[in-house]
Chain A
Amino acid sequence: SQQGEEDPQALSIQEGENATMNCSYKTSINNLQWYRQNSGRGLVHLILIRSNEREKHSGRLRVTLDTSKKSSSLLITASRAADTASYFCAPQSNAGKSTFGDGTTLTVKP
């Protein structure tokens, strides 16, 4: 199965700073998605980037994809306390199976 591994495991920043999280995977993918999960809550879809795309923006989010390095990054600019959550990447292969990594726990201090 395709497993995404997020890095770092935990990230603590001050409000207003930028937060960068990375994701690595092992085999070829068709697309990669990033999700956010607040403690005890469900997944919230953030952004999807296709294998033929290199960068995508959505509001304060910027996602990059480097298929040659099998990696992706999620950048949150001008972070807010409400961005505090766990962030997961979900690389998806043609078979459709994805196994999430342990996620990055982001803490934004007010």
Chain B
Amino acid sequence: GAVVSQHPSWVICKSGTSVKIECRSLDFQATTMFWYRQFPKQSLMLMATSNEGSKATYEQGVEKDKFLINHASLTLSTLTVTSAHPEDSSFYICSARDPASGEYNEQFFGPGTRLTVL
């Protein structure tokens, strides 16, 4: 399958600071990427859909001013957690849709980024 990477793999920051997480599709161009978060011992929850060259679409209950998404190129989407608080501590995972999969709409996930806010 196609490869999606995330950077950093983990980050620790102080409360009130902003943190940027990168998601890259390494061997394909992704017009659509998705961002998920996962709390300990829980499932992944979709946060937003990131579309290259346009605004992201956020799921209900996700604050768009809190979680800024930028999909400036076909291989890179970034998620910025602004003014982070301890309750934002979570595992953030991105995925990218491979357009070469056509109707099968295959989507591949990155390894995730663990954010800890002190």
- The answer to whether A and B interact is yes
Shortest beta-carbon distance from B30 to chain A in Å: 11
Contacts of A42 in B (CB 8 A): 6, 9, 91, 93, 110-112
Quick one: which of B1, B6, B97 contacts A48, CB cutoff 8 A? Answer: B1
Contacts of A90 in B (CB 8 A): 107, 109
Instruction: Give Cα A44–Cα B107 distance, bound, in whole angstroms.
Output: 13
Say which residue of B9, B32, B111 sits within 8 Å of A96 (CB atoms).
B32
Determine the interface band of chain B, counting residues with CB < 8 A from chain A: 20 to 34
* A50 contacts partner chain B, Cβ-Cβ < 8 Å: yes
B109 surroundings in chain A (CB, below 8 A): 35, 43, 45, 90
B63 close to A (CB within 8 Å) = no
List residues of chain A with CB under 8 Å of any chain B CB. Answer: 1, 30-31, 33, 35, 40-45, 48, 50-51, 88, 90, 92-94, 96-103
Residue B44 CB within 8 A of the other chain: yes
Chain B 68-118 residues near chain A, CB threshold 8 A = 91, 93, 97, 101, 103-112, 114
Q: Please give, as numbers and ranges, the residues of chain B lying within 8 Å of A102 by CB-CB distance.
A: 42-43
Chain A residues lying within 8 Å of B104, measured Cβ to Cβ, are: 30-31, 50-51
